[in-house]
Amino acid sequence: SAVISQKPSRDICQRGTSLTIQCQVDSQVTMMFWYRQQPGQSLTLIATANQGSEATYESGFVIDKFPISRPNLTFSTLTVSNMSPEDSSIYLCSVEGDRGPYGYTFGSGTRLTVV
Amino acid sequence: DAKTTQPNSMESNEEEPVHLPCNHSTISGTDYIHWYRQLPSQGPEYVIHGLTSNVNNRMASLAIAEDRKSSTLILHRATLRDAAVYYCILRVLNNDMRFGAGTRLTVKP
């Protein structure tokens, strides 16, 4: 299955600043997905990123707060902008694995703490 | 989206079978049943999926009710490394993956 490298693995940031999270995949994939996992909670889909088009955001998530780039078929970034303590979460990227549409592969996540 | 209902938590003894239930009474004919698990401090990992028939792989078995309104993930011999949150997810082909609350499985030695 696809191997995902996600950076940074963790960070502690000051409120009001921004953090860009990188997701690198070892194979070309059409769709990449970004999730948020708040402390003790399940995963919530933030947006879907297709190469060459604007990301599609889920209800409750906006581009100004979570801008996403998808410059090629192996790479994507998610920026968490103007951070507040409520943004403290684990952020994960995901792609469809080599099981095609039947299986997703997830990165190990970025643990973000906003102080 | 069709929703799933799972118990919040379950316990098992090591080396015993574990049956993790999932109810999905509003499942549609095109929904695949997926199971993922999330080990501590890791991203979710694929376990198994099925549509109508029971499925087996090296990790687990998936038993799907005849009316497809429920399913059961079966771990044949639980180990301490199987302690995780298990998510039952319904997904239409080519659609995104949406997670419910999951079942936290504790395995006792």
Residue B94: per-residue pLDDT: 64
> What percentage of residues in chain B have a pLDDT greater than 90?
75
What is the secondary structure of B25-80 as a DSSP string? TT--TTEEEEEEEE-TTS--EEEEEESSS-EE-SS-EEEE-TTSSEEEEEESS--G
CB < 8 Å to A102, chain B: 32, 34, 49
| Coil, strand or helix at A102 | helix
Structure confidence by residue, pLDDT tens digits, A40-72: 999 999 999 988 888 999 999 999 999 999 999
Q: Can you tell me the mean pLDDT for B53-76?
A: 95
Q: Which residues of B61-100 are buried (b: 16+ CB within 10 A; e: fewer)?
A: bbbbeeebebbbbebeebeeebbbbbbbbbbeeeebbbbb
**Which residues in chain A come in under a pLDDT of 70?**
97-102
Q: For B94, which DSSP code?
A: T
CB contact under 8 A, A33 and B45: no
Give me the residue from A1, A99, A109 closest to B43, CB to CB.
A109
Q: Helix, strand, or coil here: A86?
A: helix
Task: Mark yes or no for CB contact B43/A97 under 8 Å.
Answer: no
Q: Chain A closest CA to B16's CA: distance in Å?
A: 27
